[in-house]
Structures are given as C-alpha cells and as structure tokens.
Amino acid sequence: MIRFLIYGFMTYLGFKVIQKIASQFFSREIPGSQPQPEVEADELVQDPVCKVFVPRRNALKAHKNGEDFFFCSEGCRKKFLK
C-alpha cells in the first residue's frame, strides 16, 4: 500500500515538472509578432444630477444648450431634462 502511495506521489511530481517545462517552452513569443496593444483607461464622467462618476462608454448621453451631459441612469437623465 505504501509503495502505491509513493509511486502515485512520484508520478504527480513528475507530471508537475513536465507541465512547468512545457508551459515555459510553449509560452514564448513568436519572433516578429506584433506586441499586444495596451488597453486604454476609460474616461470617467460625472452625472450632474446625483454626482456619481460613470465610465463614458456606459453613460447615457443628453445634449442641452449646445453641451453634452452624461448620466448614470435614465431616471437622472429625465430629471435633468425637465
């Protein structure tokens, strides 16, 4: 029984070593490949009604008096436009 546990443990350790070596071998960058573009930070805009900050891409937009305003919800947008 003990021999079985020792063989199982040695097999597991061998598997982990091979897995580590394989991951380093296959994770290398390909020469001449383009680097990944960095993700740009999303600009935060402030809701003029409730004063919370919302990412611009997720905000609701309204145009009033030649200016753009951004809102966190439809309720805040409607309140502002009244």
The number of domains in the chain is 1
Mean pLDDT of the 57-64 span: 91
Find the angle CA(52)-CA(57)-CA(63) to the nearest 5 degrees: 75
Question: What was the pLDDT predicted at 67?
Answer: 92
Q: Is the pLDDT of residue 19 over 70?
A: yes
Question: What was the pLDDT predicted at 26?
Answer: 72
In a domain, residue 1? The reply is no
In a domain, residue 14? The reply is no
pLDDT in tens, 50-60: 999 999 989 99
In a domain, residue 8? The reply is no
Q: Is 19 exposed, middle or buried (0-12, 13-18, 19+ CB in 10 A)?
A: exposed
Q: Is 43 exposed, middle or buried (0-12, 13-18, 19+ CB in 10 A)?
A: exposed
In a domain, residue 54? The reply is yes
Q: Is the pLDDT of residue 2 over 70?
A: yes
In a domain, residue 71? The reply is yes
Closest Cα partner for 52 from 68, 66, 73, 82?
73
In a domain, residue 11? The reply is no
In a domain, residue 24? The reply is no
